[in-house]
Amino acid sequence: MNKTPNIKNYFFVSLLTTLTGCSNGQDLKTNQTNQTMKPKINKTEEEWKKQLTPEQYHILREKGTERPFSSKFEEHWDGGIYSCVACGNELFKSDSKFDAHCGWPSFYEALDKTKIIEKPDNTIGMRRTEITCANCGGHLGHVFDDGPKPTGLRYCVNGTSLEFKKVEQKK
C-alpha cells in the first residue's frame, strides 16, 4: 500500500478544514481574559466606511472572508511585521508565517496574545474560534488547533485585514 499522501486530497482536506473550521475534532481553549476585553478604538460605522476600502470594510467590520488564494500575502515571505490595516496594531511576525496550503496567510503564533481577541464563533452551524484585533475590534479570521510546532496553532487570517512593514535585516 502506498503511504505517500496525495497532494490533491491534502489540498481538498486542508481547504475543507479551513472553510468548515473542523480540524481534529478538538475545540480550542479560548483565552477567557481576552474575551472580555473591549476594543480601544471606537469609531462609528460611517467613520470606518470612510477609512477602509469596501473590501476591507466587508472583512473587518462585517466579518467577511476573502476568496482563498486571492491575498497578496498568501505567497509573501519577506521579513517583517504584519499589522491590522485598520489601526496599525502589530499582530504577527513574518518568522511565524507558514504555508498551510489553505489559501489564506497562516501564522503559528501571534506577536503578542494581548493584541488579538479570541471568541467562540458558532455561525452557520460551525464551531470555530474567531480572532479580532484587540485595538479596533476588526475581524481578522479564525484560529485552529491544526498548526505546526511549537504551538500547534494556525491563525488563518484574511490578508485584506493586514498590512506589512518590511524589517531590514542587520548585516
Q: Is residue 5 part of a domain?
A: no
Q: Which of 84, 102, 133, 156 is catalytic?
A: 156
Using 50 as the pLDDT threshold, list the residues of the chain that sit under it: 1-36
**Per-residue pLDDT at 66:** 96
User: pTM for this one?
Assistant: 0.77
Domain with residue 51: its CATH number is: 2.170.150.20
**Per-residue pLDDT at 25:** 33
Q: Is residue 67 part of a domain?
A: yes
Q: Is residue 21 part of a domain?
A: no
* Domain count along the chain: 1
DSSP H or E stretch at residue 46: helix 45-51
**Per-residue pLDDT at 42:** 87
- Residue 156 annotated to the active site: yes
Listed in sequence order, the residues at least 6 apart from 42 whose beta carbon sits closer than 8 Å to its beta carbon are none
- The whole-angstrom distance between residue 23's C-alpha and the CA centroid of its chain comes to 16
**Per-residue pLDDT at 67:** 96
Q: Is residue 4 part of a domain?
A: no
Q: Is residue 55 part of a domain?
A: yes
Q: Is residue 10 part of a domain?
A: no
**Per-residue pLDDT at 141:** 97
Q: Is residue 42 part of a domain?
A: yes
Q: Is residue 18 part of a domain?
A: no
**Per-residue pLDDT at 18:** 42
Q: Which domain holds residue 84?
A: 28-166
Per-residue pLDDT of 128-139, as tens digits, reads 999 999 999 999
